[in-house]
């Protein structure tokens, strides 16, 4: 299967009602910026409802959500999903409460740009379109790890939309027709990662419509700043690989052994690093290029560990329905 890339579409005459679902967990520091981004959307405010679903936060998230809803000039509806600790379960709670035929998704640590919703919804003017993915770019970062991830476009939808098995969009920037969810079901509530691929694949396998890529519908996302966070991110990618393998027979990523890591690290230390250091002193390369190999080894190894240790829970096979 393939997807079509869309740059810009005029939306002046196509302005359907939209429900935006955002799962939230312990994000009190992110909420002010997120809400400001929702305020700044250029899509007609009277046509949008924002369903913010707290997923059993232990900080002041739920209280702050209620405060934001009380004083907001836009329609913010606050919900709780306290039974299942999963962003997919929280999204399902939002979907069930949604009043619109088009349901958009983003995350609490994302920053939707002002034209985001307008451009994300635009491709639905074509009745054959049932899924639209927008692009995910990096928020400005100062650390080496942030700059590395930005250089590699780690979170870009271009990677998932070119998946060997079937294209899919990440829920950080995604919209789906309600009728598709009525046919294939909601997210798997007990799945902890890989649910965005799963729901996109289930919809496409039913041949009820197309997936399109709205390249200019942009959400910005903050990259990881510490090695621990980076390892956790890539270990989760490994879990996702394993889960999708068990659900769909998707080919697993090649394991990176400790012996291979040691060889590549030694090669970098004694061959690549001296060469790149000279280029750097001459202003012919960036600092991140000096450390591209060891960071790449770290992420590849974390993904291998995640893929090996993961096993799909039996409950994760459950698909909830509308």
pLDDT above 70 for 86 = yes
**pLDDT tens string 133-173:** 999 998 887 788 888 778 778 889 999 999 999 999 999 99
List beta partners, residue 48: 18
pLDDT above 60 for 295 = yes
pLDDT above 90 for 288 = no
Task: Please list the alpha-helical segments (H only) found in 116-226.
Answer: 116-121, 144-152, 157-161, 178-184, 195-205
Mention the CATH class of domain 4-223: alpha beta
pLDDT above 70 for 2 = no
Span(s) in the chain for CATH 3.90.550.10: 4-223
φ and ψ at residue 123, rounded to 5 degrees? -60, -20
- Arithmetic mean of pLDDT, 205-210: 94
Contact between 211 and 132 under an 8 Å Cβ cutoff? The reply is yes
Per the listing, tokens 């995604």 go with 174
Distance CA 301, CA 259 (A): 11
- Arithmetic mean of pLDDT, 64-82: 94
Rg (CA), the chain: 20
- Arithmetic mean of pLDDT, 68-90: 95
pLDDT above 90 for 4 = no
Confidence of residue 290 (pLDDT cuts 50, 70, 90): confident
Average pLDDT, the chain: 92
Measured on CA atoms in the order 299, 195, 192, 219, is the torsion positive or negative? positive
What pLDDT, on a 0 to 100 scale, did the predictor assign at position 214? 97
φ and ψ at residue 301, rounded to 5 degrees? -70, -40
**pLDDT tens string 222-250:** 888 888 999 999 999 999 999 999 999 99
Total-model pTM: 0.91
110: left (phi over 0), alpha (psi -120 to 50) or beta: beta
Distance CA 197, CA 193 (A): 9
Name residues whose C-beta falls within 8 Å of residue 130's C-beta, 6 or more positions apart in sequence: 176, 177, 179, 180, 203, 208, 209, 210, 211
Instruction: Lowest mean pLDDT of 67-71, 150-154, 192-196, 228-232, name the range.
Output: 150-154
């Amino acid at each position: 299967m393939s997807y079509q890339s869309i740059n810009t579409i005029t939306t002046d005459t196509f302005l359907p009602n939209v429900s935006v679902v955002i799962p939230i967990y312990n994000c009190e520091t992110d909420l002010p910026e997120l809400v400001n981004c929702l305020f700044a959307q250029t899509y007609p405010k009277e046509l949008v409802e924002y369903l913010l679903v707290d997923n059993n936060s232990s900080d002041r998230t739920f209280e702050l959500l209620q405060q934001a809803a009380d004083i907001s000039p836009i329609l913010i509806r606050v919900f709780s999903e306290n039974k299942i600790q999963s962003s997919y379960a929280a999204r399902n709670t939002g979907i069930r409460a949604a009043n619109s035929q088009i349901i958009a998704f983003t995350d609490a640590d994302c920053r939707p740009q002002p034209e985001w919703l307008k451009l994300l919804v635009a491709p639905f003017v074509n009745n054959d379109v049932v899924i639209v993915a927008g692009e995910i770019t990096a928020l400005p970062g100062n650390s080496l790890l942030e700059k590395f991830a930005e250089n590699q476009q780690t979170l870009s939808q271009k990677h998932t939309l070119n998946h060997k098995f079937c294209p899919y969009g990440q829920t950080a920037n995604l919209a789906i027709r309600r009728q598709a969810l009525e046919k294939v079901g909601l997210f798997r509530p007990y799945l902890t990662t890989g649910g965005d691929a799963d729901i996109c694949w289930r919809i496409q396998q039913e041949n009820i419509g197309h997936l399109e890529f709205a390249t200019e519908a942009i959400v910005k996302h903050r990259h990881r700043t510490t090695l621990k966070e980076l390892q956790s991110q890539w270990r989760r990618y490994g879990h996702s690989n394993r889960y999708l393998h068990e659900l769909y027979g998707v080919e697993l990523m090649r394991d990176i052994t400790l012996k291979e890591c040691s060889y590549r690290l030694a090669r970098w230390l004694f061959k690549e690093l001296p060469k790149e250091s000279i280029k750097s002193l001459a202003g012919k390369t960036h600092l991140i290029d000096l450390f591209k190999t060891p960071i790449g080894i770290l992420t590849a190894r974390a993904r291998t560990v995640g893929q090996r240790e993961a096993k799909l829970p039996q409950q994760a096979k459950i698909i909830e329905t509308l």
